[in-house]
Amino acid sequence: MAWTTRSSKLLRVLGWVVPTLASLMMPSALAQDLPIVVSPARVKRQIIVSVPDRKLVVMEKGAALRVFQVAVGADASPSPGGAFEIVSRLTEPTYYHAGVVIPPGDDNPLGPRWVGLNKKGYGIHGTNAPKSIGQAASHGCIRLRNRDIVQFFAMVSVGDTVEIHADRDEQITEIFGGDAGEATAVAQAGPTSTGVAGGQ
């Protein structure tokens, strides 16, 4: 009697499971019921840095999405001019330099985010020296305030392009305003800081 009861329960369960499995194994039925969702490819963004203006802009399809104030390379260690590409993105990076290792935190010269370029050792990052923003103060990297690097980090992806302009040209003038050469003259006349410890 007990065997019969168990058998009937097992048959009832199998009577539900087998048809259910069979329906899941029919791709043509599923294809008719479920829509195919294709995520659109993200448009590559362009990051343009004006060394004389101490500014960075994130562009998409020719439109400026956001402008950030930055620190650029000091006179002794200028930011490299040219066209680059983002190759890495790190959250809470560890700083390594000449036998010095600084873990993530308030003392880290890279701040809370690192966006690495395809020029070894150079990137866009936060800072533990917020007063350096707007100055020629880094070892060549582009620094943002920590709150700004978090926003910037969320806006960019690996493969986005980065242009660093050492001088004002027509493109920079069009984006940031003013006259070509104006910001360069101001930058040369103004004070710069070259002694910020630690940061890139």
The one catalytic residue in 97, 139, 141, 165 is 141
Q: Where are the beta strands (DSSP E) in 30-155?
A: 46-50, 55-60, 63-69, 72-73, 82-91, 95-97, 100-102, 113-117, 123-125, 136-138, 142-143
Joined together, the tokens standing for residue 151 give 């926003």
The one catalytic residue in 97, 125, 139, 165 is 125
Annotated active-site residue 97? The verdict is no
Closest by CA position to 68, among listed 147, 166, 174: 147
Which H helix or E strand runs over 152? Answer: helix 146-155
Annotated active-site residue 125? The verdict is yes
Closest by CA position to 73, among listed 9, 170, 166, 173: 166
- Residue numbers annotated as active site: 125, 141
